[in-house]
Amino acid sequence: MCGIVAYLGDKEAQPLLLEGLRRLEYRGYDSSGLAVLNGKGLEMVKKVGRIEQLERALGPNPLHGSLGICHTRWATHGKATEVNAHPHTDASGKLAIVHNGVIENYGTLKKKLIEKGFQFRTETDTEVLAFLIGFYFDTLNSETENRLEMAVMEALREVTGTYGLVAIHQDQPDVMVGARRGSPLVLGIGPHEHFLASDVAAIAAHTQTVAHLRDFDVVTVDRQGYRLKSLTHNAPDESGLEISQIDYQAADAEMGDFPHFMLKEIFEQTLSIQNAVRGRLNLEECTAQLGGLNLSPQELRDIDRIVITGCGTAMHAGIVGEYIIESLAHVPVEVEWASEFRLRNSPLDRRTLVLVVSQSGETEDTLGALREARRKGHRVLGICNNVASSLARETDGGVYMYAGPEISVASTKAFTSPTIIFVLLGLLLGRMRFLSASQGLQIIQAIEALPDQITQVLKQSGHINQIAEKYSYSRSMLFFGRQMQYGIALEGALKMKEISYIHAEGHPTAELKHGVIALVDENTPSVFLCPKDGAYDKNINNLQQIKARKGPVIAIATEGDEEILQQADDVIYIPDAPEYTAPILSAVALQLFAYHMAVILGRDVDKPRNLAKSVTVP
Ligand code: F6R
């Protein structure tokens, strides 16, 4: 959630750091700060609010220096105030750190430091860490060559919790030390310069050569280069860091001609769906090929239950996936919130496949679920977008989304990509069980038709905008869907509430009469997902129950359905598609609906209040 960027090289640090921060702002943004080291000592500026506030403060008085650290914060411990913003300094004011993660035993450490006479200025766990590192720094002889590195390592040995951090110290003005446990940190290697960042997006414009730190790695960067140590042993780490070239064009993270990243990403779904499918269809055998699963045909055949887990939008994709896989492959599927799964003793057996879904691959609860399943000896596969994430490293295999960077806090591509991957998985498992070749071929044809069909939905953006305008008075909305559209009702409601702040609830359609109908009145619109499928008549029946109570209805229906025009107040048509690909089309329509509503209401679409892109705290 929070973002870190650090620089040591032959250029001015401030412009590079601010540019990196802007690229990370989507991760969290209630305050930010920047510190540099130069001949004059440690200089630092912190501001509450957006990066613009920090830029404005630095504008007339830039901080000069070629070594610096900066941070965007999303408050966990302590309010969003200037004093709680990062960087945090130690008691001497000469050491500064930026930190992502949570120091779980900070209370105990703080007490110990208070007993030694230290006085704290903030409520944060990060300040305690800064004081602890500073304390060890000051106990070391000033001639000690690796003084900052040693102090960081001593302090981290006492810490329980998670961190991605970078430390600098005025008395070692050409050194920065980075460390990782549980919170990502990547080293960027350029000619005469190095970066440390929590996300490659921050540095991709400057170098494509990166190394991802592993848990317990400590990297010390100076003007000669970098060296690696591990907290599990003090000596230089012989195994070294694995250096790779990233395939990440900084331009992918630009908005281009779109007014918001969310709209750009909604429109990118014609492409992201193709990327998720490319090379994965086997026309000859009428099946899918998912080599990354690392499972033999026999092992695939042996799977008799699948548990899908994730958070938020990823979890909603899992709910759609449950219906898809059960329908195409007849393999029982259960979906669980990762935050619940990780804490309970979920009964899994030898033939259960655990599937974790995550865009970022860094969501704390999803990683917790992954680790819990692996601890119990289960094979865990991932559906993930970030190929350099902890999830990608820790799973036994899986399927990448290849959706490209998703910058907007509200997930769009990372909903439709796993959904189509579930269709591929359903096809693969189904063809190993009872689906015929001709049924397999029909599914392939439906998959191949999707990009054009998504384009058809996107063309209705103007019409959807008008509908949003009409209902922008709403304080509350209801979303209803049945079967494969049930997950879309949940996701449509989530999109609406998170970016427009209109209260929204998603429900299985028939549940309406078991309580929800009490909420229906003339000011509470219902979004009804009722494509032409086996449940159509039942849906119309439920729709009429809403109309009978004067509730306005916006229907998502299949092109050519004239009857719906008599029933609903407004209609958004999606192209005719089988029940397993139709959810992708209705999801795109509801993403546009939420997007336009948020714009009409003047909300900050890409950076909704209180939310962060990647939730790396429990
Ligand atoms: C909603 C949204 C969140 C994420 C959730 C999981 O639009 O973006 O609900 O889906 O925080 O994130 P990932 O997929 O990165 O694990």
Give the pLDDT confidence of 432-474 residue by residue, as tens digits. 998 999 999 999 999 999 999 999 999 999 999 999 999 999 9
Residue 481 C-alpha to ligand 1 middle, in angstroms? 21
Structure tokens at 305: 């239950």
CB 333 within 8 A of CB 358: no
Q: Which strands sit side by side in the sheet containing 503-508, from one edge to the other?
A: 503-508, 476-481, 526-529, 553-558, 570-574
Domain 255-451 has CATH 3.40.50.10490: yes
Q: How remote is the C-alpha of 588 from its chain's centroid?
A: 19
Whether the per-residue pLDDT at 487 is higher than 70: the answer is yes
Mean pLDDT over all residues of the chain? 92
Q: What is the DSSP letter of 182?
A: B
Whether the per-residue pLDDT at 276 is higher than 90: the answer is yes
Which of 284, 598, 237, 263 has the alpha carbon at shortest distance from 441? 284
pLDDT tens per residue, range 331-390: 999 999 999 999 998 888 889 999 999 999 989 999 999 999 999 889 999 999 987 788
Can 2 be counted among the known catalytic residues? yes
Whether the per-residue pLDDT at 125 is higher than 80: the answer is yes
The yes-or-no answer to whether 255-451 and 460-605 have a common fold is yes
CB 309 within 8 A of CB 315: yes
Among the ranges given (27-31, 257-261, 460-464), the one the predictor scored with the smallest mean pLDDT: 27-31
Mutate to test the pocket of ligand 1, among 313, 356, 366 (most ligand atoms within 8 A of CB): 313
Question: Does the bond joining 60 to the residue before it have cis omega, within 30 degrees of 0?
Answer: no
Q: Which CATH class is domain 460-605?
A: alpha beta
Q: List, in sequence order, every beta strand (DSSP E) within 415-515.
A: 476-481, 503-508
Mean pLDDT of 308-318: 98
**Residues 413, 415: Cα–Cα separation, whole Å:** 5
- pLDDT confidence of residue 237: 67
Amino acid identity at 78: G
Residue 617 banded pLDDT, cuts 50, 70, 90? low
* Cβ contacts of 561 within 8 Å, gap of 6 or more: 532, 573
Mean pLDDT of 480-487: 97
pLDDT tens per residue, range 174-224: 999 999 987 889 999 999 999 999 988 889 889 989 998 988 999 999 999
- pLDDT confidence of residue 350: 87
Whether the per-residue pLDDT at 477 is higher than 90: the answer is yes
Q: Where are the alpha helices (DSSP H) in 59-124?
A: 106-115
Structure tokens at 212: 């991802």
- pLDDT confidence of residue 251: 59
Entry field: residues in the chain: 618
Can 530 be counted among the known catalytic residues? no
- pLDDT confidence of residue 410: 95
CB 45 within 8 A of CB 62: no
CB 148 within 8 A of CB 175: yes
Mutate to test the pocket of ligand 1, among 407, 411, 491, 499 (most ligand atoms within 8 A of CB): 411
Residue 256 banded pLDDT, cuts 50, 70, 90? confident
Q: In degrees rounded to 5, what are phi and psi of residue 264? A: -60, -45
pLDDT tens per residue, range 396-425: 999 999 998 898 999 999 999 999 999 999
Three-state DSSP at 168 gives: strand
Which residue has the least CA distance to atom 3 on ligand 1? 312
Q: Give CA angle at 77 (73, 78), nearest 5°.
A: 85
**Residues 12, 449: Cα–Cα separation, whole Å:** 51
Whether the per-residue pLDDT at 94 is higher than 70: the answer is yes
Structure tokens at 381: 């596969």
Give me the helix-helix angle, 106-115 and 125-139, nearest 10°.
50
CB 477 within 8 A of CB 496: yes
Q: List, in sequence order, every beta strand (DSSP E) within 150-223.
A: 163-169, 172-181, 186-190, 193-197, 209-212, 217-222
Residue 314 C-alpha to ligand 1 middle, in angstroms? 6
DSSP sequence for 568-595: -SEEEEE----TTTHHHHHHHHHHHHHH
**Residues 131, 593: Cα–Cα separation, whole Å:** 49
Q: List, in sequence order, every beta strand (DSSP E) within 482-579.
A: 503-508, 526-529, 553-558, 570-574
Please give all residues whose beta carbon lies within 6 A of any atom in ligand 1, as ranges.
Answer: 310-314, 358-360, 363, 366, 410-411, 414, 494, 498, 614-615
Q: Which residues of 15-45 are buried (b: 16+ CB within 10 A; e: fewer)?
A: ebbbbbbbbbbbbbbbbbbbbbbbeeebbbb
Residue 28 banded pLDDT, cuts 50, 70, 90? low
DSSP sequence for 455-470: HHHHTTHHHHHHHHHH
Q: CA separation (Å) from 36 to 32, 169, 177?
A: 14, 10, 14
Which of 290, 442, 403, 404 has the alpha carbon at shortest distance from 355? 290
pLDDT tens per residue, range 573-614: 999 999 999 999 999 999 999 999 999 999 999 988 888 777
Q: CA separation (Å) from 159 to 83, 102, 346, 535?
A: 23, 10, 30, 55
CB 423 within 8 A of CB 294: no
pLDDT tens per residue, range 106-116: 999 999 999 99
**Residues 218, 454: Cα–Cα separation, whole Å:** 46
- pLDDT confidence of residue 182: 79
Q: Which of 2, 70, 286, 311 is catalytic?
A: 2
- pLDDT confidence of residue 291: 86
Query: From the alpha carbon of 313, which atom of ligand 1 is closest?
Result: 10
Locate the domains of the chain by residue range. Answer: 3-253, 255-451, 460-605
Structure tokens at 436: 């015929």
Which residue has the least CA distance to atom 6 on ligand 1? 311
Which residue has the least CA distance to atom 9 on ligand 1? 312
Q: Which CATH class is domain 3-253?
A: alpha beta
- pLDDT confidence of residue 184: 83
- pLDDT confidence of residue 207: 92
pTM of the predicted structure, to 2 decimals = 0.77
Whether the per-residue pLDDT at 252 is higher than 80: the answer is no
Give me the helix-helix angle, 13-24 and 51-58, nearest 10°.
160
CB 244 within 8 A of CB 387: no
Residue with tokens 């317990």: 216
Whether the per-residue pLDDT at 618 is higher than 80: the answer is no
CB 64 within 8 A of CB 12: yes
